[in-house]
Amino acid sequence: MQVVCLDGGPIGTNTYLVADDNGRTVVIDPGVEADVIAAVCDERNWQVVVLAATHGHFDHVCYAAQAKARWGVPYWMHSEAVALAVASAEQAAWFGLELANSPAPDNFLNPAEPFGVGHLNFEVRYVPGHSPGSVALYIPGHVFAGDVLFSGSIGRTDLPGGDHDLLMQSIREQLMTLPDATVVWPGHGPATTIGEERQNNPFREGWQ
C-alpha cells in the first residue's frame, strides 16, 4: 500500500490517494481539484477506481463532483453524512466561499461491511461526534480518521450536528482500541500515531 497526502483546497484539507500494488487508487476526501489528483496519479501510473468521504463537510467533498465527472467511478460515504454533503455549497457560503455541492453517493460506507478495491480492504469504523455519519477507514497499520482525531487535537464539535461527548466516545471505542503503532492520517495537519495521541494529546482525559 502506498499513501500520498495532498494538502489543499479552500482551507487546507488533506486528500489521500491510497494505492495498492497494482496502482488501483482510492481517493479519500476529494477536497482538492481533480487536476491535482490526476497529475499525481499520472506520474505514478495509478488509476483512480473509487472515491470515499469520511464525512460530509464541504472542505472534504468540494471537488467530488469534479472527480466523478473525470473518472466516472463509484463514490461512497455513510448514509448519515449525505444531507450535509449534498448541501456543501451552503456550508461553504457560511465561510464566504463559493463551491459546488457534492453529488449524492453511489454506495454507503457501513461498519458491518468491508470497503476497498484490489488488495486494499478497509474496515469502516463509525465515529460520529464531529459531524453526523463520520467514519474512519482502517487498514492494519493505518487509519484515515477524517476530522475526528488530529496530531495534538480533536475535531471541533461546535458546528451543526456536533456532539463533544459523542466524539469522545467515538475516539475511545473506535480509535483508542487500535494498536499504538497505527498511523493516523487526519483530515488536516500532519500524520501522527495512536500511541502518540494516547500518551500526549491534551484532550486525552476526555476519552480515558
The Cβ of residue 35 has, within 10 Å, a number of other Cβ atoms equal to 10
With beta carbons less than 8 A apart as the criterion, state whether 18 and 120 touch.
yes
For the segment 120-137, what is each residue's pLDDT rounded down to a tens digit? 999 999 999 999 999 999
Which range of residues forms the domain containing residue 103?
2-206
Asked whether the CA dihedral 198, 199, 203, 208 is positive or negative, the reply is positive
Residue type for 112, please? A
Dig out the grid coordinates for 15 from the structure. 486528500
Give me the CATH number covering residue 114: 3.60.15.10
Q: How far is CA 114 from CA 5, 53, 109, 123, 148, in A?
A: 23, 15, 8, 5, 20
pLDDT given at position 18: 98
With beta carbons less than 8 A apart as the criterion, state whether 171 and 146 touch.
no
| Global confidence as pTM | 0.96
For the segment 133-151, what is each residue's pLDDT rounded down to a tens digit? 999 999 999 999 999 999 9
Q: What total number of domains does the chain contain?
A: 1
For the cut 90, the answer to whether the pLDDT of residue 88 exceeds it is no
The lowest-confidence range among 10-14, 187-191, 196-200 is 10-14
State the greatest distance between any 2 C-alpha atoms of the chain, in Å, as a whole number.
45
For the cut 90, the answer to whether the pLDDT of residue 27 exceeds it is yes
Instruction: Identify each DSSP E strand in 29-110 by its residue range.
Output: 47-52, 75-77, 107-108
For the segment 30-55, what is each residue's pLDDT rounded down to a tens digit? 999 999 999 999 999 999 999 999 99
Q: Which residue has the cell 482525559?
A: 205
For the cut 90, the answer to whether the pLDDT of residue 172 exceeds it is yes
For the cut 90, the answer to whether the pLDDT of residue 119 exceeds it is no
Average pLDDT of the residues of the chain: 95
The Cβ of residue 123 has, within 10 Å, a number of other Cβ atoms equal to 18
